[in-house]
Chain A
Amino acid sequence: MPVLAEALRHVGHVTIRNRGTIGGSLAHADPAAELPVALLALDGKVVVQGSAGTRAIGAGDLFVGPMTTALEPTEILTSVRIPRPDAGTGASIVELARRHGDFAIVIAMALVHLDGNGRCDMVRIALGGVEGAPARMEAAESGLLGAEPSGAAIEAAADAVAAGVDPIGDIHASESYRRDMTRVFVKRALAQAVERAKGGVA
């Protein structure tokens, strides 16, 4: 999964990456962090352990708000499980930040698999930095499913994601700029993922 390495390049700086951990970043659940977006797009899960025992939490149920996860106060995250994508899956993660290593204004990650006719038989889009928690963009995913991922289809999916988000605004990116950049970066992630799916490069 080379896309994981691509995701990690956007995380802070070398010293931060040396010190930080994958599980720690997921449990921290910063809405502008890369790893939660990657866990969502890769459809992974985490295993947590507490006084009541061990349980698994799927990525979609893990991130409930800014810096907030579904972990109970008595639980700790003990492992991360990421299923290997099917052969031929194309993946991409792209990010906009003011400076390299700053928290993201937008992180968009896409996974695409094409069937024998060049139509999408698997699409996953995950978004971070835009709302209070990272999330899968399921409506836009189902719009592409079964379709040929043409430029127009990708644009339509990106428009759908941008129209559906409720962006936060700050001094680096207003709500409307974040919405605009959501469209641009979802489009770029999808285009690159499709390109890689066609070339057989994950």
Chain B
Amino acid sequence: MDPHEVRRKNFPAPDEFPFFSGVAFWYDSGRYEDALDSTLARVEELGWRQMQADARAEGRSVGIGYSFHVEPSAYGPSRILNLVGLQHSGFDEAVVRIDPMGKVTVYSGQINMGQGTHTIYCQIAADGLGVPIDDVKVVTGDTDSCPYTGYGTGGSRAAPLGGGAIIRATVRLKEKILRIAAELMEASPEDLVIDSGIISVKGSPDQNVSMQDIGDAAYRRLNERLPVNETPTLEETDVYDPENMATSFGCAALLVEVDRETGVVKLLDFVQTDDCGTVINPMLVDGQLAGGFTQAFGGALFEELVYDDEGQLQTTSFMDYLIPTAMEIPRFEVIHQETPSPHVPGGIKGVGESGTIAGVSLVGSAIDDALSDIGVTVKRFPMTPMRLLDLIREAENGEVSQ
């Protein structure tokens, strides 16, 4: 049976979600077959099969590998984390504050390590409040000034949980802004809209107040400007503890060429259909994925700690521990598919591990395909040239591989 048929038979259909995992959490939403079809269609379009056939006609071994991944992200409900024995929780907290000048500051317990967290938090807060992105700044990194987090940054939670808390805080803060604006303009809050930091009456854009007016009414000149019963200041805190994980997924395809005389594997081209729910920033998602793909290919082909028979570590420097460089990786193409999480604010899912999960088995599957005529099955990683040459020779001599 075609391997893709096995996958299709096992995919839960979109209407079967949330799909219980069997332990503690549900796969929240998914269009798995769409992801597979999207990748297969792109492989067809790119002409990989023809390239493979042409290469084989010239006696070269080109293979196509596929791998499907599901990434449980948005770690996680405190209920689950405690259940599995972790002695910490899974909530995340955000404070969104608008100052008297109408500028926004987001305080978060998350830490940016290069994923672009500050950028997406600016996007989320600006989008949630209706203010220009340049009016938002993000503060993290110090528990003297920032909220605590239940877990920290990891488990692909900065976007869904850190971002989810910001979304929930901005919803309440926006309502307060509209109530104050309604008081200033003698209008009803339901009739108001915010766009680029200007609050106006729907249909009459000339009748408006600015975020600076709102700041003034909330912090300085309150009399007859701040609605009765409204608390001064413009600040909302939100603690978000999700009810479930959010499961991202995707389908990757890889084109490789194996040199049968040397065991060297060359990565020629790569496509992944990736679904991490709502894509907040495609460029940052692509960047996280590219780093993950590279790391996975390192694990598949290069990175290894080698010990001798005495237990002495032989890998002693980065001349021995080989991390792939731009010369070793193929072009990366990401096709974004968006199936929002039904339970996380904004439909956001995590993407931190979606690059690495499929990569190692993907390389194995592509090598197996390239050498399918002699029947090599890769089972060990990293698949170094020496190891692969041994497998090729065993297969050519009719021995069972590994």
Contacts and interface: CB of A to CB of B under 8 A. Distances in A.
B327 interface: yes
Nearest to A96: B262
Interface in B142-198: none
B322 A98 contact: yes
Contact count band on A:
10 to 19
Contacts of B320: 171-172
A171 B384 CA distance: 10
Interface string B295-321: 000000010001000000011000110
Contact of A180 (B314, B325, B389): B389
Contacts of A202: none
Chain A contact residues, majority secondary structure? loop
Nearest to A176: B386
Interface stretch (A61-69, A80-88, A99-107): A99-107
Contacts of B325: 99-101
Nearest to B264: A96
A100 B264 contact: no
Interface string A162-196: 00000000011110010011001000000000000
A177 B262 CA distance: 9
A99 B262 contact: no
Contact of B324 (A99, A177, A184): A99
Nearest to B316: A171
B205 to A, nearest CB: 55
B396 interface: no
**Category for how many chain B residues contact A:** 10 to 19
B303 to A, nearest CB: 11
Contact of B314 (A98, A171, A177): A171
A188 B386 CA distance: 19
Contacts of B319: 102-103
Contacts of A174: 386
Given A171-B314, A171-B315, A171-B320, A99 B386 contact: no
Contacts of B262: 96, 181, 184
Q: Most A CB atoms within 10 A — which of B315, B324, B389?
A: B389
B108 to A, nearest CB: 38
A171 B261 contact: no
A100 B261 contact: no
Contact of B261 (A99, A101, A102, A184): A184
A177 B386 CA distance: 7
Interface string B55-70: 0000000000000000
Contacts of B324: 99
B328 interface: yes
Interface of A: 96, 98-103, 171-174, 177, 180-181, 184
29 contacts: A96-B262, A96-B264, A96-B385, A98-B322, A98-B385, A99-B302, A99-B322, A99-B324, A99-B325, A99-B327, A99-B328, A100-B327, A100-B328, A101-B327, A102-B319, A171-B306, A171-B314, A171-B320, A172-B320, A172-B384, A172-B386, A173-B385, A174-B386, A177-B385, A177-B386, A177-B389, A180-B389, A184-B261, A184-B262
Interface of B: 261-262, 264, 302, 306, 314-315, 319-320, 322, 324-325, 327-328, 384-386, 389
Given A99-B325, A184-B261, 14 more contacts: A96-B262, A98-B384, A98-B385, A99-B322, A99-B324, A99-B327, A99-B328, A100-B325, A100-B328, A173-B385, A173-B386, A174-B386, A177-B385, A177-B386
